[in-house]
Amino acid sequence: MHVVADRSETLTAIRTDLGAIFVSLELSRSTWLITSLSPGGGEKLSKHSVPSGDLSALFRRFDSVREKARARMGRDFPVVTIQEAGLDGFWIHRVLSRAGIESYVVDPASIAVSRRSRRAKTDKIDGETLVRSLLAFKRGEPRICAMVKEPTPEQEDRRRICRERKVLTTERVCHVNRIKGLLFAQGITDYEPLNRDRRDRLEELVTGDGRSLPPHLKAQISRELDRLELLLAQVKEIEIERDKLLHAEEKVIHSPAKLLIDIKGIGPEFAAVLCHEGLFRHFDNRRQVAAYAGLAPTPWQSGQVDREQGVSKAGNPRLRTTMVQLAWLWIRHQPRSNLTLWFQSRLRRNGGRLKKTTIVALARKLLIALWKYATSGVIIEGALMKAA
C-alpha cells in the first residue's frame, strides 16, 4: 500500500526548512505587483499591488507579510526578493539590499516557460513563476535561472561615456544620410556633410539640370547642418572625457586599459568599451567570457540531429558588436598573429565561403585572448605592439 503525502504539508516543510518569506516583484510603470509565499501558508500565493515607486508601501507590505508569518509559526522570518532585470535597473535592488533584505535580480530570458504556441502570460503568472524560480534557486537546483551580477554605481556610470557616444554617432549617420538623400534627389552626389567646407560647398551646389538649390531645400539642409555640427561638438566633448578616464586608469599598475591600448589596432574607443562593458567583471573561465558577450555557440542536438544554430546573442550586445568590428580590424593590423593565421586557414578550408560566420568565431577567440592578456598577462602569440 502506497502512502501519498499531502502536497501542502510537503511544500510547507520545504519552505520552513529554507526559513524565509519569498517575494517576487513584477514591476511596471504604474504599479508593482508583489507576490509572496510564506511558511505555514500552504500553497497559497499572496498577491498585492502598490503604486510604482512607492517604497513606503512596499516596505509596509513586507512588514504585513512578516507579521502574518510570525502569528502562524511563532517566529520571525527574513524576506528574500526577486525581480527581473529591465527598465528599472538596479536602484530598487540597492534599496532593498541596504535595508537588509536578501535581493536578487534575474535574467528573464533564463527562466523556463511553457513552449505552447499560445501560452498564457499575465503579470500574475509571471509573479508566480518568479517565486517558483527563487524557491528552486535557494534550494540549490543547478541552472534553474541566471542571476544578474549588479555593477557598482561607479562601474555603471563609467560606461555611460561609450554608450552615449554610440547613440550620438548613430544619430550623426542619420543626419548625414538625410542630407545626402535630399541632394541626391536633385542630381547632386559629390557633397560630403562631414567635410569642414560643408557650408561653403552648400552655397556653390548646382542641381543636375543646372539650377541653383531651391531656397526652402537649402534652408532645410542648413538646419540639418546645424544639428549635425552640434552632434560633432558633443562627440568631440565625449571623446575628451573618455580619454581623460582612460588616462586616469592607465596610471594604475597593470591596468587593462593600458595593456589593451598598447596593442596595435586597438584605439581608445575599443579599449574603453572592452574595459567598461566586459573586462571590469570577474570571469572564472573562457566559457563565461564568451557567454557574457553572447558569442558562445548554441547547439541543437536531439537523437541523430546535431547542428549549430550560431551564437546565442544572449549577452552584452555592445560588447558583442564591438568585438565583431575589432575582429575585422584585427586581420588587417595583425596579419602575422596566430588568430589571423587561423582565420585565413579556416577560410581556405571552406573555399572562401562562410566569411561572416568565421569572423564571429574569430571575435570569440579574440575576446578570450584579450581577457587572458588584460587580466593575467598572457601574451597573444604573434601580436604586434605599438611603437613606444
User: What are 94-136's pLDDT values in tens digits?
Assistant: 999 999 999 999 999 889 888 888 888 898 999 999 999 999 9
Q: What is the pLDDT of residue 13?
A: 41
The answer to whether 228 touches 168, Cβ cutoff 8 Å, is no
Q: What is the pLDDT of residue 18?
A: 64
pLDDT tops 70 at residue 272: yes
Domain ranges across the chain: 7-150, 156-250, 256-376
Q: What is the pLDDT of residue 11?
A: 45
- Please report where in the chains the cell 502574518 appears, as a residue: 68
β strands within the chain, DSSP E: 21-27, 31-37, 46-51, 79-84, 102-106, 297-302, 305-311
Average model confidence (pLDDT) across the chain? 90
pLDDT classification of 39: cutoffs 50, 70, 90? confident
**SS3 (DSSP) at 149:** coil
The answer to whether 23 touches 81, Cβ cutoff 8 Å, is yes
Query: Higher model confidence: residue 53 or residue 254?
Result: 53
Euclidean distance between CA atoms 45 and 35, whole angstroms: 6
Euclidean distance between CA atoms 148 and 334, whole angstroms: 35
**SS3 (DSSP) at 284:** coil
Looking at residue 102, its amino acid is E
Positive or negative, the CA dihedral 158, 162, 167, 172 is positive
Identify which of 36, 37, 44, 40 has the alpha carbon closest to the alpha carbon of residue 9: 40
Q: What is the pLDDT of residue 4?
A: 43
The answer to whether 147 touches 168, Cβ cutoff 8 Å, is no
pTM: 0.83
φ, ψ of residue 219 in degrees (nearest 5): -65, -40
Arithmetic mean of pLDDT, 140-145: 89
For 257, the grid coordinates are: 586599459
Residue 142 Cα to chain centre, angstroms = 23
Return the CATH number of the domain spanning residue range 7-150.
3.30.420
- Please report where in the chains the cell 527563487 appears, as a residue: 134
The answer to whether 320 touches 295, Cβ cutoff 8 Å, is yes
Q: What is the pLDDT of residue 7?
A: 44
